[in-house]
Structure 1
Amino acid sequence: MEYRLLKSELGHRLATVTSTNEWIRDVSIPFGSWVIADEQTAGKGRGQNVWQSLGEDPLIFSGKIRISAAEISLPLLSIFVSSAVLKSIFHFFPEREVDTTVKWPNDIYRGDKKVGGILVQSEFTNGVFDVVVGIGLNFFGSNIPDPLKDKATFLCEKPLEEGILERFANQLIVDLNQSVISLLDQGQVLKDLVWIEDHSLLKHKVIETEWESRMVRGRVLGIDELGFLLIMTETGEKIELMDTSPKFRII
C-alpha cells in the first residue's frame, strides 16, 4: 500500500479562504499537499461547530494524506495528530510544557482554556482512507471576545517573531508524518500513548458524559490502543468512549 504523507514542497499560502479543509479537499489538489491561510471566514469544527481563529497570530492549517484503512484506527489517528501538534508546540515554545496539554480527543489546552482545535475528516474508498487534517492554533492576540473569555486563551504572551509561523508549519509537517508512521508499529503506539497520557488534560480527572442514552460519571483511566477513552464509573463499570458528547464535562 502506498502511503501519501505530507511533503514540504507541496505547501500553499493563501491570504484568505472560506475553509482550508474545504479548499484542500478539491480533487485537483494532490495528496501530500498542505496549506496555511492568513484568514479563514468559515472555519469548520467538529459536528456543526465552527472554528473561530482569534488574535493577530493564528495558525490556520490543513493537510491531505492517504493511508491504509486496514492498519489505522481513526480515533487513534485523531489523538496522535493532537500529540503531533503538542510536540511541535514544545519544540518552539518549551516553556509551554508546564501548562499545555491535549484534551482528548482533539483539542489543545493551555491551563483550563482552549488554544487549539483539530478536525480530522476522512473518506473511505477501496480500502484506503483519504484524510484531511485541519488544525487551528491561536498563538497570540490582544483581545478575546467576551463570550469566549472563560473558554479560550492564547498560546503565547507576545507576538510571534518574523518567520516563526512558517517554521512552525514545517515542523508540524514532520511531526504529523511521524505520528502516522508511529501508528504502523504497535510497540511505538504503546510508547506514544504513554507520552500522550502524561500530557493529557484528562489524566486522573473525573468526568461526566452521556453514554448509551444515560448520564455516567467516572474517573479517567487512560486511552486504549484504538484511541478510545477508558472510564471507570462510580458503580465500578468500565466503559470506552469513542468521542465526546455535547454533555461531556470535567467535574
Structure 2
Amino acid sequence: MQFHLLKLELGHRIPSVNSTNDWIRNPELPFGSWVIAEEQTQGKGRGLNAWQSLGEDPLIFSSKIRISAAEISLPLLSIFISSALLKTIFLFFPEREADTTIKWPNDIYKNDKKIAGVLVQSEFINGVYDVVIGIGLNFFGQIVPDNLKDKATFLCETSLGEGELERFVNQLVLEINQAIITLLDPSQVLKDLVWIEAHSLLTNKVIETEWDERIVRGRVLGIDELGFLLIMTENGQKIELMDTSPKFRII
C-alpha cells in the first residue's frame, strides 16, 4: 500500500495566489505538503464553480496526498475531509456545535448558510490516487456581497486572535490525517459515519434532485459506506446519490 499523509513541517504560507489548488500541484513540492494563502484571486469550486473567500479572516488552504486507489472511496474521502474540518471547528469553537453541520457531500453550514467548502481533486496513476484537497472557510467578516447574502455567512462573530489561524491549521492537518487513517480501517468507517450523520444538515430532510434523467423527491436516510447519499423517494424507491445536481434543493 502506498500513501503519503500530510506533514506539519511541509507547510507554506504565501501572501497571494491565483489558486492554492494549482499552486500545490507544483511537482517540486513533495506529497504531504500544504499551503495557506492570505489572498486567492481564482479560487476553485466544484465543477465550473468558483470559491469566493469572504471577510477579513478567511482560511484558504490546499494540500496534496498520495493514497492507494484500492483502499479509498473518493466520495467517502470528500465527506470525511469535511468531517475533519468540522471536528477542528468544534475543538476551537465549541459553541458552534449547536448550529454548524456538514452539508453532503462537501460543505459546512452554519444554520442554513454556507461558511466553508471542500474540493477534492484526484488523479489516478499506477494504482494510486494523487489527491489535492482544497478548503475554504470564512472565519469572520462584516460584509457579505449582496448576491451571497441569502447563501453565505461567517463562522465567528469576532476576528481571530493572534496565532489562532496557525493553530487551527495545524490541528486541521492532524484531523485530515486521522480521517484518512480511519478510512483505511473498515471497522472504523461506520463509527465515523454515525458521527457524520449526527452532524449532517440533510439527515431526515426532504430533498428534490435530478436522478436517472428525471426529477425525484424523497427523504434523506443517511450516508452509506461508499459516501453516497441514501434517499427514500415518494414512491418508496430507495436510491443512492453520488453527487448533487444543479437541481438539488432542500424542500
* Range class of TM-score, shorter chain: over 0.9
CA distance in 1, matches of 2:177, 2:46: 22
Which 4+ runs in 1 deviate beyond 3 A? Answer: none
TM-score, L = length of structure 1: 1.00
Using the TM superposition, give the Cα deviation of residue 2 of structure 1 relative to its aligned residue in structure 2, in angstroms.
2.9
Alignment of 1:194-209 (within 5 A): 194-209=194-209
Provide the C-alpha distance between the structure 2 equivalents of 1:228 and 1:96, rounded to a whole number of angstroms: 26
Corresponding residue SS for 1:70: coil
1:53-96 Cα shifts (integer Å, max 9, x gaps): 00000000001000000010000000000000000000100000
Deviations along 1:82-130, one digit per CA (max 9) or x if unpaired, are 0000000001000000000000000000000000000000000000000
Aligned to 2:25: 25
Give the whole-Å Cα distance in 2 for the aligned partners of 1:188 and 1:87: 16
Per-residue deviation, 1:186: 1.2
- Secondary structure of the structure 2 residue equivalent to 1:217: strand
CA distance in 1, matches of 2:178, 2:199: 18
Whole-Å separation in 2 of the counterparts to 1:213 and 1:155: 37
- 1:29 positional shift: 1.1
Instruction: Confirm or deny that 1:236 pairs with 2:236.
Output: yes
The SS at the match of 2:16 is strand
Deviations 1:26-72 (A, max 9, x none): 11111000000000000000000000000000000001000000010
Distance 1:180 1:186 in 2: 11
**Partner of 1:95 in structure 2?**
95
Q: In structure 2, what is the equivalent of residue 78 of structure 1?
A: 78
Q: What amino acid is aligned across from residue 168 of structure 1 in structure 2?
A: F
Query: 2:168 corresponds to which residue?
Result: 168
Deviation at 1:139, TM superposition (A): 0.2
Mapped partners of 1:50, 1:26: distance in 2 = 21
Q: Which residue does the alignment assign to 1:105?
A: 105
The whole-number CA distance in structure 1 between the counterparts of 2:9 and 2:149 is 38
TM-score normalised by L of structure 2:
1.00
**Equivalents in 1 of 2:150, 2:68: separation in Å?**
40
Partner of 2:218, secondary structure, is strand
For 2:15, the equivalent position in structure 1 comes to 15
SS at match of 2:138: strand
Q: Which residue of 1 aligns with 2:246?
A: 246
The offset of 1:248, in angstroms, is 0.2
- Any unmatched runs of 5+ in structure 1? none
Identical columns (%): 77
2:156 corresponds to 1:156: yes
In 1, Cα distance between equivalents of 2:38 and 2:217: 41
Taking the aligned partners of 1:228 and 1:200, their CA distance within structure 2 comes to 13
Report the CA distance between 1:185 and its aligned residue: 1.1
- Does the Cα contact within 8 Å between 2:210 and 2:216 map onto a contact in 1? yes
Letter of the 1:150 partner, please give it.
Answer: D
Aligned residue pairs, count: 251
Distance 1:200 1:212 in 2: 25
Tell me how far apart the structure 1 counterparts of residues 222 and 119 of structure 2 sit (CA, whole Å).
22
Quick one: which amino acid aligns to residue 40 of structure 1? Q
Q: Is the Cα–Cα contact under 8 Å of residues 122 and 129 in structure 2 kept in the other structure? A: yes
Aligned to 2:139: 139
SS in 2 for 1:243: coil
Contact 2:2 2:128 in 1 (8 A): no
Q: In the alignment, which residue of structure 1 is the partner of 2:56?
A: 56
Corresponding residue number in structure 2 for 1:193: 193
